[in-house]
Every structure is written in C-alpha cells, then in structure tokens.
C-alpha cells in the first residue's frame, strides 16, 4: 500500500496545505492522507472532505517543546497508513507527476531530494552540520559528510520500516533548538543508513533555482509562497497565487487567511 502524506499542526499552514493538495490531485493520481494533530484537525477535515482525501489523527507522544512540529517529521513513519509513503511539506505546489519515485522507495528504504546543487561540505551547509559537533557523539558525526549531496526534506519517500527512523528522532531532539534540526540530523545520519538522494527537480527551491519543464515540486521554504514587493512577484510566488485564487470563497480558505501572517503581510486587504 502506498500514498502521499502531509502533516499539519495548528492553523497557520491551513491555506498552504489546501493549495498544495489542489495542485497534487491535478498532477499525481495516488492515495492522499492528511496527518493532523488534534490542534487543527477540524480545519483539515474540511479540506479532506472538499478534495476527497483521507485524514488521520496524528497526535504524537510528548509532542511539545521547541521545534516539535519539525521533530515529528523524524518519526512520521509511526502514523503513516502506508507501507511506502512520500511526505510533502505544505509549502509546496506540484507542477508535474512524480509517481516514479515510488518505484525507488522499496529498494532504497529512504529517498530524499537534493537541495539545489548544494553539497554537505559546501559553504552553506557545512556550518549547519558543524553546529552539531558538541551536541552528539563522535561516532555519529563520523559519517556526517559521507553523503556529499546536501538534502532538503520538504519531499522525501520512505518505507514504514526504514532503519533510519530508529535513530532520526532521538538524534534530532539532542539539538532541537538549532536551525532546522530535522533536516540537519537527517543529513548527519544518511551515511549510516541505506538511502538514495534524487535530483532537486523533485523539490525545487523557489528562491535558489529556476523552474523548468522538469520541475515536479516547487518548494516555498515556509514564508516565500506569497511574496510581492513593489508590484512584482518574487520567488515564483505568482505560481502559488494562481492556485490560491482558485480556492477563494471556500470557508477553509477564507476563515484561515488571518492565520497566515505572511500572506496578510503581502496582501493586507485580505
């Protein structure tokens, strides 16, 4: 059994989640499930009903503290209903079918996308990894740079029993106050476990890359989905707004616009 999952806590990403699902169902014909914390479940339920997708309550044990929504991505295998899953961040839009990635999951256990053309030893990423050196054991850091490609986990595929999950959450918690602890802990662990890194066309950066005919998923990095300055759309936000406009009028959009402070910042009359 295979499918695509989203994970939501609270209300601030409800609009983004709906926009992403709209684009997903147009381009990928796979089972879809929203994994929702109790906080935000009723709004996610409206989205699920509108699009005809599944919803599962996903309250994690000890689900509090600094960066806990990010940390829960490191143990998402506990709550996924599928044996083979692809996880998507809500701040994405899907431009093209990526179903072929499912065929890569079982033989590799864990499939993650490269961040642009960045490398783990490069100037952008190496300092992020180095910040963990005083937080974890030397044997864990020993293979931190074995995977040369720097990764982004806004899109990743996995087997429910992938071995990396035995260590991922426990490692991420050790430096939970750091920048994107879910992603950097994943990068550190990749050298220890079976995995495959695929191209950034499956998870294209809205800011650092160019959208091409090969782009499957466009990732807006949290707050860049709606950016307009001096009348100009920045970071491919025009593509996001085109999809957002198609959903205007639905209660799960209109009632939750106020919860997306970034959207309100750029279109204050909303």
Integer-rounded Cα Rg, in Å, for the chain is: 18
Q: Which helix (H) or strand (E) holds 87?
A: strand 84-88
For helices 41-51 and 14-27, the axis angle rounded to 10 degrees is: 20
Residue spans of the domains in the chain: they are: 2-266
Which pair of tokens denotes residue 52?
A: 């005809």
Which pair of tokens denotes residue 260?
A: 């997306």
Q: What CATH code is assigned to 2-266? A: 3.90.550.10
Global confidence as pTM: 0.94
Select the more confidently predicted residue: 266 or 190.
Answer: 190
Q: How far is CA 62 from the centre of its chain?
A: 21
- Position of tokens 């695929």? 198
- Percent of the chain residues topping a pLDDT of 70: 98
The count of other CB atoms within 10 Å of the CB of residue 100 is: 10
3-state secondary structure of 232: strand
- Position of tokens 């994690």? 60
Residue 207 contacts residue 224 (beta carbons within 8 Å): yes
Alpha carbon distances (Å) from 248 to 32, 41, 230, 241, 261:
22, 21, 24, 11, 17
Which pair of tokens denotes residue 220?
A: 């807006």
Give the model's confidence band at 38: pLDDT under 50 very low, under 70 low, under 90 confident, else very high.
Answer: very high
**pLDDT tens-digit profile of 190-241?**
999 999 999 999 999 999 999 999 999 999 988 889 899 888 999 999 999 9
Alpha carbon distances (Å) from 192 to 75, 118, 137, 139, 187:
17, 20, 14, 10, 10
Q: How far is CA 207 from the centre of its chain?
A: 16
Dist CA 236 CA 225 (whole Å): 8
**pLDDT tens-digit profile of 158-192?**
999 999 999 999 999 988 888 899 999 999 999 99
**pLDDT tens-digit profile of 48-100?**
999 999 999 999 876 567 788 889 999 999 999 999 999 999 999 999 999 99
Q: How far is CA 150 from the centre of its chain?
A: 15
Dist CA 55 CA 44 (whole Å): 8
The confidence score (pLDDT) of residue 265 equals 85
Residue 124 neighbours by CB under 8 Å, 6+ apart: 118, 150
């Amino acid at each position: 059994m295979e499918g695509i999952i989203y994970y939501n806590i609270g209300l601030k990403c409800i609009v983004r989640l709906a926009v992403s699902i709209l684009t997903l169902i147009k381009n990928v014909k796979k089972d879809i499930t929203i994994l929702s914390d109790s906080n935000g479940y009723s709004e996610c339920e409206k989205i699920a009903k509108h699009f005809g997708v599944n919803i599962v309550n996903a309250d994690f044990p000890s689900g509090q503290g600094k960066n806990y929504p990010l940390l829960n991505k490191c143990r998402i295998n506990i709550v996924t209903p599928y044996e083979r899953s692809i996880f998507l961040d809500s701040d994405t839009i899907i431009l093209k079918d990526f179903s072929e990635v499912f065929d890569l999951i079982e033989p590799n256990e864990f499939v993650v996308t490269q961040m642009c053309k960045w490398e783990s030893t490069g100037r952008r990423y190496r300092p992020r990894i180095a910040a963990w050196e005083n937080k974890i054991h030397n044997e864990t850091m020993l293979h931190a740079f074995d995977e040369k490609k720097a990764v982004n986990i806004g899109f990743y595929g996995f087997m429910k029993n992938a071995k990396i999950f035995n260590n991922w959450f426990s490692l991420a918690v050790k430096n939970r106050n750091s920048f994107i602890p879910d992603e950097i802990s994943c990068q550190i662990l990749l050298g220890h476990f079976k995995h495959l890194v695929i191209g950034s066309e499956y998870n294209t950066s809205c800011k650092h890359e160019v959208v091409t005919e090969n782009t499957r998923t466009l990732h807006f990095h949290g707050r860049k989905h709606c950016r307009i300055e001096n009348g100009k759309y920045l970071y491919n936000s025009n593509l996001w707004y085109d999809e957002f406009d198609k959903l205007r009028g639905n209660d799960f959009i209109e009632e939750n616009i106020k919860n997306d402070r970034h959207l309100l910042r750029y279109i204050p009359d909303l």
